[in-house]
Chain A
Amino acid sequence: GENVEQHPSTLSVQEGDSAVIKCTYSDSASNYFPWYKQELGKRPQLIIDIRSNVGEKKDQRIAVTLNKTAKHFSLHITETQPEDSAVYFCAASMNYGGSQGNLIFGKGTKLSVKP
């Protein structure tokens, strides 16, 4: 089945710097790749996603890139702020005959932004 690897497991940056989190997936049938942010003690929240027919997507300070050939996708956060501190999860969805329901998550990256 699908396997999603996420790196690094922890990341510490200075406020204003950029942060990059990388994920690789194993199943070429996966075609939906969301990213979630989870603050301490709270529920995960979808922050951005990308589909396999798109190479890059941006939303203000957040961007995601996808390389289908290499089967990896990355989250880029620019001009980091202390409120970006959280655990970030990548995920990949397998396509079972048109049904996209099975979501496999990476193990998470704890991002710390130091003021």
Chain B
Amino acid sequence: EAQVTQNPRYLITVTGKKLTVTCSQNMNHEYMSWYRQDPGLGLRQIYYSMNVEVTDKGDVPEGYKVSRKEKRNFPLILESPSPNQTSLYFCASSPFGLRTDTQYFGPGTRLTVL
């Protein structure tokens, strides 16, 4: 089954404790992206990757890191999480960038930073 998976689905952590949210897709897609969703603010793009070893900043990259060492994986790293990073995070993938009518979203990761 074609899908995007994220882990963990739920995470409660404390300020300053490094964490990684994993994202994996099994569709051989070139493009992957991370978004955060906050009430009243909609979806905001954090980082995206057009292919292996190619990443770029989205709208709100501060406080986040990403890497794309393999085509299927695009982990989101929070080196020193802060309470303002409490949010719902979505990973997404699609073939050939955004020149397509199929962008698949993962199920979401709800992160709480105390």
Contacts and interface: CB of A to CB of B under 8 A. Distances in A.
A44 B90 contact: yes
Interface stretch (A65-73, A77-85, A102-110): A102-110
Nearest to A103: B45
Given A1-B59, A34-B101, A105-B43, 15 more contacts: A6-B42, A32-B99, A34-B98, A36-B43, A43-B108, A46-B103, A49-B101, A100-B98, A101-B48, A101-B97, A102-B58, A102-B59, A103-B33, A104-B45, A105-B44
Nearest to A49: B101
Given A43-B108, A44-B105, A45-B105, A101 B43 contact: no
B62 to A, nearest CB: 14
Interface in A1-22: 1, 6
A100 B99 contact: yes
A107 B90 CA distance: 16
Interface residues of A, number: 24
Interface residues of B, number: 26
Contacts of A105: 35, 42-45
Of B33, B35, B42, B102, chain A has the most CB atoms within 10 Å of the CB of: B42
Interface of B: 31, 33, 35, 40-45, 48-50, 56, 58-59, 90, 97-99, 101-103, 105-108
Of B58, B103, B108, chain A has the most CB atoms within 10 Å of the CB of: B103
12 contacts: A32-B98, A34-B101, A36-B43, A43-B105, A43-B106, A91-B43, A100-B97, A100-B99, A101-B31, A101-B97, A102-B58, A107-B41
